[in-house]
Amino acid sequence: MPLVPRSRLIVALDLMDGYEALSIAEKLGGIADAIKVNYPLVLAAGLGIIKDLKKHGNVVADFKVADIPNTNSLICAQAFKAGADAIICHGFAGSDSVKACIGEASKYGCEAYVVTEMSHPGAVEFLQPHAFELVELARRAGASGIIAPATRPERLADIRRHAGNMKILAPGVGAQGGEARRAIEAGADFIIVGRSIYGADDPYEAALEFIEQLRR
Ligand code: O7M
């Protein structure tokens, strides 16, 4: 199912234990708009974890796919067959590689999102100088949306101006220093939060607190 901003929260479950991930997803009880899985969880628990997590809502497969078009298609097919609702790919591999992900997504009625500028400090070295080009590449290729940094709200706002009606998913809130409210004000449609939720004593309360910040 396509991502629809309701709570505007996507929870990243970067855990190394499938049972713990499922237990947190169950506790969250669907208050987030999606769960995001990345390599730590899939490598530890297997791709089948996507199907298990789907019982609790939409699942985004954050595999940051960045290969030649044929390999990208094969990776995306595995993610969608496993039940993912969306895939995340890198844009720097080029428009043909991105289009392969989008093409595969559309076969399954799913979505593809493209990483532009990342949230960590090293992103200023190579990605930041090309961020607007990556946004344009994503837009022309027909991506559902892009990833842009909650850690740099001013950059997020600039990226929003180039993004047209593509959805923006903004990671870096909480543990990396970004603020939920500022990210939404800068133009994000969703925030992605990992450690500040799954590492909290009460992940449900922590998620609720982020959602309330977004509503305020
Ligand atoms: O809140 P955290 O820092 O514990 O987790 C953030 C999550 O977002 C984690 O799964 C990262 O891999 C991911 N992420 C970033 O932190 N920065 C980015 O620039 C991009 C992503 C991401 O989700 O890309 C799709």
Q: What is the pLDDT of residues 49-89, one digit of tens each?
A: 999 999 999 999 999 999 999 999 999 999 999 999 999 99
Q: What is the pLDDT of residues 56-67, one digit of tens each?
A: 999 999 999 999
Percent of the chain exceeding pLDDT 70 equals: 100
* Residue to probe by mutation, ligand 1, list 62, 90, 111, most atoms within 8 Å of CB: 62
Residue nearest atom 21 in ligand 1 by C-alpha distance:
171
Q: What is the pLDDT of residues 92-137, one digit of tens each?
A: 999 999 999 999 999 999 999 999 999 999 999 999 999 999 999 9
pLDDT at 122: 98
Task: Output the pTM of the full model.
Answer: 0.98
Residue nearest atom 22 in ligand 1 by C-alpha distance:
171
pLDDT at 216 over 90: no
Distance 184 CA to ligand 1 centre (A): 16
Contact assessment for residue 171 and residue 147, using Cβ atoms and an 8 Å cutoff:
yes
pLDDT at 10: 98
Identify the CA nearest to 144 among candidates 106, 193, 194.
106
Average pLDDT on 169-191 reads 98
Q: What is the pLDDT of residues 198-211, one digit of tens each?
A: 999 999 999 999 99
H/E stretch holding 23: helix 18-28
Average pLDDT on 175-179 reads 98
pLDDT at 203: 98
Distance 9 CA to ligand 1 centre (A): 13
Beta-strand pair 145-147/167-171: parallel
How far apart are alpha carbons 154 and 194 in whole angstroms? 22
pLDDT at 90: 98
| Tally of CB atoms within 10 A around 138 | 28
